[in-house]
């Protein structure tokens, strides 16, 4: 029988899994973690300042402070990456929404050679002359 002290995934507690269902919830978690790390960093800096004489404890505090600095950098990078992903998702969904409003479901698809059909990213880099040849073929 699994007790109360078992990890959340063994207890059947779905709350931890729910925290990462969306980019927003993951961003909130990283934000909270970054705040906690910043607080730990301040405490470590105070502890280093209190140590008067060189000792093994001071060395350990400096190593811990170095590792917390690295963790803080990684969290800031993760936060920026999550922001970028959220922005890209918004742009993609906004683009999809505007397309679905312009081209309702069931509307006939335009042929590839139609002047009304938007160019794809793949066609954008090709010279117009090669496009005309490929359409004629």
Structure token digits, residue 115:
């002047």
Using pLDDT thresholds of 50, 70 and 90, give the confidence band for residue 97.
confident
Q: What is the pLDDT of residues 107-129, one digit of tens each?
A: 555 455 544 444 444 444 444 44
Q: Does residue 86 form part of some domain?
A: yes
17 lies in some domain: no
Residue 33 lies in a domain: no
Percent over 70 (pLDDT), the chain: 60
Whether residue 132 is contained in a domain is answered as: no
Number of domains in the chain: 1
The closest of 45, 97, 92, 49 to 68, measured between CA atoms, is 45
pLDDT at 88 over 50: yes
Q: What sign does the dihedral 63-64-67-73 (CA atoms) show?
A: negative
68 band by pLDDT with thresholds 50, 70 and 90: very high
The number of helix segments (H) and strand segments (E) in the chain equals: 6, 0
What span, in angstroms and rounded, lies between the C-alpha atoms of 62 and 57?
A: 9
Q: Is residue 6 part of a domain?
A: no
Q: Does 60 reside within a domain?
A: yes
CA atoms within 13 A on the CB side of 58: 8
pTM above 0.85, yes or no: no
In a domain, 74, yes or no: yes
Q: What is the residue range of 93's domain?
A: 52-99
In a domain, 130, yes or no: no
Q: Please write the tens of the pLDDT for every residue from 22-63.
A: 888 999 999 999 999 999 999 999 999 999 899 999 999 999
Separation CA 67–CA 82 (nearest Å): 22
């Amino acid at each position: 029988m699994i007790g109360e002290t078992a990890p959340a995934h063994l207890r059947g507690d779905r709350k931890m899994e729910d925290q990462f269902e969306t980019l927003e919830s993951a961003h909130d978690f990283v934000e909270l973690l970054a705040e906690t790390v910043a607080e730990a960093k301040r405490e470590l800096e105070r502890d280093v300042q209190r140590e008067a004489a060189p000792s093994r404890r001071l060395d350990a505090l400096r190593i811990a402070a170095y590792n917390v600095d690295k963790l803080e950098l990684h969290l800031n990078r993760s936060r920026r990456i999550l922001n970028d992903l959220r922005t890209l998702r918004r742009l993609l969904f906004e683009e999809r929404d505007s397309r679905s409003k312009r081209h309702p479901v069931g509307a006939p698809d335009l042929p590839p050679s139609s002047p009304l059909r938007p160019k794809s990213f793949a066609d954008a880099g090709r010279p117009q002359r090669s496009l005309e040849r490929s359409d004629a073929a």
